[in-house]
Copies of this chain bind each other. A is one copy, B any other.
Amino acid sequence: MKHTACKISEAEWQVMKVLWEKSPLTATQIIGCLKPETQWNPKTIHTLIARLVKKEALAVNKDRNLFQYYPLVSKEECMREETKSFLHKVYDGSIHLLVANFVKNESLSPQEIDRLRKLLDEKIN
């Protein structure tokens, strides 16, 4: 698994998500998975796939005329990268600020708060 800090765009993320969920898949299968959620033209999805291959976020298995795509970068890795740059950009790198903002804005349900506390509690112990 490569440790590329490749920038994956908004639209490309959706393609990656499909393949992180299940791979390898053919372009047609990917298009099938994305059809319900997006209104993208199949051509658009082909373009996104091609760009991801070029970025080395995806690779392709060419077996005769069967092209199957699979991720070269892990979801966790990408999430970490994205989170880091997002936190840096918006919250000066402080996850505390982010959560604080969430809490302040009432964007968290009591259940969510409780679940988060449990999560942190587990970590402590």
Are B102 and A115 within 8 A (Cβ)?
A: no
- Give residues of chain A (11-51) contacting chain B, Cβ–Cβ below 8 Å: 13
Are B120 and A116 within 8 A (Cβ)?
A: yes
| Bound Cα distance A121, B118 (Å) | 11
Are A121 and B112 within 8 A (Cβ)?
A: no
| Bound Cα distance A16, B105 (Å) | 21
Are A119 and B99 within 8 A (Cβ)?
A: yes
Q: Which of A53-61, A66-74, A83-91 contacts B (4 or more CB under 8 A)?
A: A83-91
| Bound Cα distance A114, B76 (Å) | 24
- Quickly give the copy total for this chain: 2
How many interface residues does chain A have, given as a range? 35 or more
Question: Which residues does chain B contribute within 8 Å of A89, judged by CB atoms?
Answer: 10, 13, 82
| Bound Cα distance A102, B96 (Å) | 11
A-B complex: 5 closest residue pairs judged by Cβ atoms: A86-B86, A117-B120, A82-B90, A103-B123, A113-B120
Which residues on A are within 8 Å of B, measured CB to CB? Answer: 10, 13, 76, 78-80, 82-83, 86, 89-91, 95-96, 98-103, 105, 107-108, 110, 112-117, 119-121, 123-124
